[in-house]
Amino acid sequence: MSIPTALGTAAPTTAVYTASATSWGGRTGKVVTSDSKLDLDLSMPAEMGGDGGPGTNPEQLFASGWAACFHNALKGVARQRKLDVADSAVTLTVHLVGGMATGFDFEVTIEAQLPGIDAPVARELLEAAHQVCPYSRATRGNIAVTLVVVDDED
């Protein structure tokens, strides 16, 4: 099976995993994955001129996916270094910036709580995870990302 390529990039010959989702109605509709494990209503945030309804939105989905993926990358890097990050947490905040006239962009803050890990080592783990996380790799150079180690005492 041939996978289409964008901008002349080489397509993978064998996918390890493939996910597919379909949207109906855009930001005020719904989104469902091909296996129906995710089936969500979408609402436009009031800050964007919407009704702020009960549904989620693409930025929340993006933040959730990247946070989970980044956290797994962080755990993998820590495991390679024989460091225990079992009680860690990653919070990823997506900021939608810009406007219709100039176009919209994302800015992202990735915060990690790594209890029991010294701040310099925690920073190294974050930077290493940022190098291997597929979301980080896919967005590198396109999204401003700030990495933050949250102090245990915060």
Domain spans, the chain: 1-56, 58-150
The pLDDT of residue 6 is: 57
Annotation: CATH topology of 58-150: GMP Synthetase; Chain A, domain 3 (3.30.300)
**In angstroms, rounded to a whole number, what is the distance separating the alpha carbons of residues 62 and 69?**
11
The pLDDT of residue 1 is: 44
CA-nearest of 131, 51, 16 to 41 is 51
Q: Is 116 within 8 Å of 84 (Cβ atoms)?
A: yes
**In angstroms, rounded to a whole number, what is the distance separating the alpha carbons of residues 28 and 151?**
38
pLDDT lower than 70: segments of the chain: 1-12, 152-154
The pLDDT of residue 13 is: 73
The pLDDT of residue 151 is: 86
What is the reported pTM?
A: 0.88
CATH code for residues 1-56: 2.20.25.10
The pLDDT of residue 152 is: 65
